[in-house]
Structure 1
Amino acid sequence: MIHNSSHVRLFFLSGINEGMNLRVVLFSVTLLCYCFIVVVNVALIMTIILDKNLHEPMYILLCTFCMNGLYGTTGFYPKLLWDLLSPVHVISYSGCLVQAFVMYSFACRDMSILAVMSYDRYVAICRPLVYHSVMSKKKLLILVSFSWFTPFYVVGTNMILTSRLNLCNTYIARLFCVNWVIVKLACFPADTVVNNIVASITIIVYVFHGFFIVWSYVYIIKTCVNSLENRAKFMQTCVPHLTSLLIFLVTILLDIMHIRYGSQYLPQALKNFIAIEYLVIPLIMNPLIYGFKLNKIRRRIFGAINLKINLLR
């Protein structure tokens, strides 16, 4: 039995228990999924960066949203692909902490960016006359910096507290490392009170993000009720955002509820699906939703495709 975290060198990931033949199939599907996520997100990012007509707050925020998606996939897919073809599924102690940090900060940053995007839509629809002064380049930079760097500090604090724990188990029954799971490996009795308090504060902070988003859209909907122009703007720019928010919340809450209250007797395949769905479904759906729903981006992408087709003829 291990009694000190300084002696822990490796964690064993026991989420993969399929036979090698099935793992080859899963590897192929996972690789295809990873490549698709990278391609569609990079395409959307490059479209926004290269087209000066898209250098507006809404599209810049969408660009940061896709960048965060790539950040999250980098912390998960390469390691999973390696494990699917490896006979032993291990990760170093430091690597596990880094992966948990990436997964945790990715989810928190997604929530922060969605909150900033809802504020942008609130100002655009409810206060259109002051939109350009309120969402100035300086204000936009501050908001983007807030959404990107605050999760680093918040999650970093959680991970520092986790790294001080003495661990008595090295088996993680998941496909990847998660902070809450690492804390559960602590020796009994372990002083995890501070970890739990900080984790609770973190949850409260991002629940308030959710309340802010709801507040923003209550006012947006009130403004749109009696205006055809605002209703059209809502359908065009707000529906994609609300769809992304709903997908994110459903997938992340399902994983949180499973970690906290899920049955240990569920099939491992179902546990794996619940664990990775927020790293698959939103990252595939978000670029498609925004790419096809936002007219400027759709025209720009289809224009580039048509140009390449004409050049190849």
Structure 2
Amino acid sequence: MENSTAYLHFNLTMFMKLGHYRYAAFVFCLVLYSFIVFANVVIILVILRENTLHQPMYIFIAFLSLNSLYGSAGFFPRFLMDLLSDTHLISRPACFTQIYVIYTYASFELTILSIMAYDRYVAVCHPLHYHRKMDRKTVSVLTFVAWVCPACNLAITLDAGIRVPLCGNKIHKLYCATWNIVKLSCDPSAVNSIAATLGAIVIAFVPFSFIFYTYLRIVLACWKNSSEVRGKVLQSCVPHVISFAIYSLTSFSDTALSRQNLKEVNPYVAIILSLEFIVLPPVLNPLVYGLKLPEIRRNILRLLKLKRKSCRIFQEPKHVH
């Protein structure tokens, strides 16, 4: 560790020289971020406003939208500034803060999807006991576990990462990531790397296995029922399955990319794969739930009609008699 240095900044090196095209890229990403904020805020407002949607299933959907706003806020403001900047230096505290936000966002997404899967499992496989098993106390406990456990786990992990001695400050990514900083370590320990990898696999494997198990039980339960019941179950479960598939594919792409030698990967492909993990779920989740679940879709249309009507009344000139 003689060559270690206390770097005050990290350099994000994946940004390409876009010339005048960076303004078009900035506008496109700003519009995308605006859509993420608008769509997820609409989902949250609709669920908060409508008493009929104050049920565990819709509360968890609101948590998913809230998490999308949280994760996007940890990425887009900094990313938009970097698009217009010629240098892409990020301070050490800002870098580790971004790591914490983005990785807790990813963990929250997985834990929320897990409790959503459990909610659907109880609703389909134990419908007569649903209100007893998913009462207010149970929802509160599940919510606490979904938010607090990942936050504490990532805080401990990040504290260990901050203490790692570094022999470089170049992060070949568009945002700060744990694995990229670990690769800059002056004293990489094989034991610690294996332990960290096994820990990450276990932490991810348990929720993934649980989600697969619950949906397998749901499929088996639906198989024994009538086509009408199967249709209703599919209507409520398909959005969750789509969200889980989007999360799984994008997180796998990001994990696989971080383990590759990026010098051998097409730079455009690398940029797309590194962005989809933080961009696609916040964009697609509100569309999936807004379009697939009739209760949410109906209330969104009602909310937009009320907004349009109030704007029209406000804009109409008052006649003076």
Report the TM-score, using the length of structure 1 for normalisation.
Answer: 0.95
- AA aligned to 1:136 is D
Between 1:226-235 and 1:62-71, the stretch displaced more is 226-235
Shift of 1:263: 4.6
Residue 233 (structure 1) aligned with residue 260 (structure 2): no
Checking the alignment, whether the CA contact within 8 Å between 2:82 and 2:88 is kept in structure 1 is yes
Aligned mates of 1:12, 1:103 — CA distance in 2: 18
Look up the match of 1:22.
Answer: 21
Residue 210 (structure 1) aligned with residue 211 (structure 2): no
Structure 1 vs Structure 2 CA RMSD: 1.7
Look up the match of 2:3.
Answer: 3
Equivalent positions of 1:72-83 (< 5 A) are: 72-83=71-82
**1:192-232 superposed Cα distances (whole Å, 9 cap, x missing partner):** 63354134213212211111111101110111112234312
Equivalent positions of 1:1-313 (< 5 A) are: 3-4=3-4, 7-187=6-186, 189-191=187-189, 193-194=191-192, 196-228=194-226, 229-261=228-260, 263-311=262-310, 312=312
Shift of 1:158: 1.5
**1:122-148 superposed Cα distances (whole Å, 9 cap, x missing partner):** 000100011001001010011011111
Between 1:11-20 and 1:196-205, the stretch displaced more is 196-205
Aligned mates of 1:87, 1:270 — CA distance in 2: 22
Shift of 1:95: 1.0
Checking the alignment, whether the CA contact within 8 Å between 1:116 and 1:143 is kept in structure 2 is yes
- AA aligned to 1:222 is L
Q: Percent identity?
A: 34
Checking the alignment, whether the CA contact within 8 Å between 1:2 and 1:8 is kept in structure 2 is no
Between 1:192-201 and 1:73-82, the stretch displaced more is 192-201
Checking the alignment, whether the CA contact within 8 Å between 1:105 and 1:152 is kept in structure 2 is yes
Report the TM-score, using the length of structure 2 for normalisation.
Answer: 0.93
Checking the alignment, whether the CA contact within 8 Å between 1:48 and 1:54 is kept in structure 2 is yes
Shift of 1:47: 0.8
- Structure 2: segments with no counterpart, 5+ residues: 314-321
Shift of 1:102: 1.2
- AA aligned to 1:101 is Y
**1:141-175 superposed Cα distances (whole Å, 9 cap, x missing partner):** 11011111111122122211111111011011111
Higher radius of gyration, 1 or 2: 2
- AA aligned to 1:236 is Q
Checking the alignment, whether the CA contact within 8 Å between 2:9 and 2:90 is kept in structure 1 is yes
**1:81-103 superposed Cα distances (whole Å, 9 cap, x missing partner):** 01111111110111111111111
Q: How many residues are aligned here?
A: 311
Aligned mates of 1:8, 1:83 — CA distance in 2: 20
Q: Tell me, what secondary structure is at the counterpart of 2:224?
A: coil
- AA aligned to 1:233 is K
- AA aligned to 2:216 is V
Aligned mates of 2:141, 2:75 — CA distance in 1: 29
Q: Tell me, what secondary structure is at the counterpart of 1:71?
A: helix
**1:210-257 superposed Cα distances (whole Å, 9 cap, x missing partner):** 111111011101111122343122221100000010011011101101
- AA aligned to 1:204 is V
Checking the alignment, whether the CA contact within 8 Å between 2:46 and 2:303 is kept in structure 1 is no
Between 1:143-152 and 1:255-264, the stretch displaced more is 255-264
- AA aligned to 2:140 is L
- Structure 1: segments with no counterpart, 5+ residues: none
